[in-house]
């Protein structure tokens, strides 16, 4: 592969690396807040996404060739809000990344003859789109009071012990392990 040294793509890689690294940390802070507010599923999703952001950063970092790179960037500077506010902020960042940042970075990389880097930028954008979609849906559920209650009967699962039940609403307390309603989520069978 052609060297990235001294290119705009090198700066874009560093900016993306910094953004992904910071998003990872923000999402762990947001996970703690979600847990404090009783949204265990949202906390787990923030933690899962934080891990995915780490992998994005790692992939971007592998293109770096050493030395120091000066970048100028704008990054969210807190504070941690409510879970609903944090989901809104997270979705906004993810939407910016997949709609604007990564497509622009990919275009530049292609223009500089760095097709492998462009492909990675485009591929990460696909993941960021899914992150945004998930955050937006979780926020909508929380705001509508549907985090633990649906419009129809569905299967709820306790994240702690695996107990399942079919109901419109998750139980206030798990009858199997006595964990609170905050540990319930709609059962996802994707296997």
Tens digit of each residue's pLDDT, the chain (191 residues): 899 999 999 999 999 999 999 999 999 999 999 999 999 999 999 999 999 999 999 999 999 999 898 888 888 888 999 999 999 999 999 999 999 999 999 999 999 999 999 999 999 999 999 999 999 999 999 999 999 999 999 999 999 999 999 999 999 999 999 999 999 999 988 77
The CA–CA distances, whole Å, from 6 to 46, 58, 110, 118 equal: 35, 20, 15, 16
pTM of the predicted model as reported, rounded to 2 decimal places: 0.92
- As for how many domains the chain has, the answer is 2
Q: Which of 39, 40, 61 is nearest to 142 (CA)?
A: 39
CATH number, domain of 97, equals 1.20.1260.10
Same domain, 59 and 75: yes
Same domain, 136 and 176: no
């Amino acid at each position: 592969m052609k060297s990235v040294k001294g290119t705009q793509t090198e700066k874009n890689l560093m900016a993306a690396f910094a953004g992904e690294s910071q998003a990872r940390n923000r999402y762990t802070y947001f996970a703690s807040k979600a847990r404090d507010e009783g949204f265990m599923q949202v906390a787990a999703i923030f933690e899962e996404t934080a891990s995915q952001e780490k992998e994005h950063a790692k992939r971007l970092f592998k293109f770096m060739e050493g030395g120091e790179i000066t970048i100028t960037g704008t990054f969210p500077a807190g504070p941690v809000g409510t879970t609903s506010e944090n989901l809104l902020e997270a979705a906004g960042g993810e939407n910016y990344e997949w709609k604007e940042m990564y497509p622009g970075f990919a275009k530049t990389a292609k223009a500089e003859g760095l097709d492998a880097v462009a492909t990675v930028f485009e591929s990460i954008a696909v993941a960021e789109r899914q992150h945004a979609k998930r955050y937006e849906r979780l926020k909508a559920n929380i705001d509508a009071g549907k985090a633990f209650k649906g419009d129809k009967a569905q299967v709820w699962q306790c994240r702690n012990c695996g107990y399942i039940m079919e109901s419109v609403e998750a139980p206030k307390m798990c009858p199997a392990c006595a964990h609170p309603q905050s540990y319930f989520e709609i059962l996802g069978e994707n296997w």
